[in-house]
Amino acid sequence: MKTLSEHILDIVQNSVRAGAKMIEIIVAESKKNDLCSLTINDNGCGMDEETLKQAINPFFTSRKTRKVGLGIPLLKQNAETAGGGFSLNSQLNIGTVLKAEFQLSHIDRPPMGDIWNTLYLLFLSNRNTNLTYRHKTDTGNFSINTSELKEALGNVSWQEKEIRNGIIELIKTNLEEIGATK
């Protein structure tokens, strides 16, 4: 994965497959502490201890269509090469918390990427999941979630051009304002 956005897109898929009704993505960055962390919480089916231990193994997957599961191992590897760390906690039938940390200024930290497009695609595909994105920087916070969008936009299809550009612009403008790193 070349960008953090792609990792987010990928990991959120795990939560969706776990049947989560609530998914929270938190990106917290601080130039002061030279830290960037990515947290993904969900209330999906969770994992038992055995599965949790296996989740970081690239040759483990719960799928039957293939024999490898690279999403989590790739994120862990990227975090560790960028002077950070990785943790995964889960409780069966309660949910999962994944956290990856990066040294913000580290040359190997993947760039943020086009998070606005990523979020748009996630919102579009998971309209009935309560998906929240929060971004914290030294100067401010921004958050957006599916229920707010549903309330503001009513019944129209989010695939419509105006709506699509609107959602993307909303995310872009706000992230620029709080000085989110690229």
Among 74, 81, 130, 178, binds another protein (CB under 8 A): 74
Indicate the residue type of 140: G
In this chain, which stretch among 4-12, 27-35, 76-84, 103-111 interacts with another protein, using CB under 8 A?
4-12
Nearer to another protein, 63 or 182 (CB): 63
Q: Which of residues 75-134 bind another protein (CB under 8 A)?
A: 117-118, 121, 124-125
Question: Helices 4-17 and 71-81 meet at what angle, rounded to 10?
Answer: 140
Element counts in the chain: helices (H) and strands (E) = 6, 6
What phi, psi does 95 have (nearest 5°)? 150, -175
The burial of 181, by beta-carbon neighbours within 10 Å (0-12 exposed, 13-18 middle, 19 or more buried), is given as middle
> What is the nearest approach in angstroms of another protein to the Cβ of residue 35?
25
Residues that bind another protein (CB under 8 A): 1, 6, 9-10, 13, 16-17, 63, 65-66, 69-71, 74, 117-118, 121, 124-125, 148-149, 151-157, 159-164, 166-167, 169-170, 173-174, 177
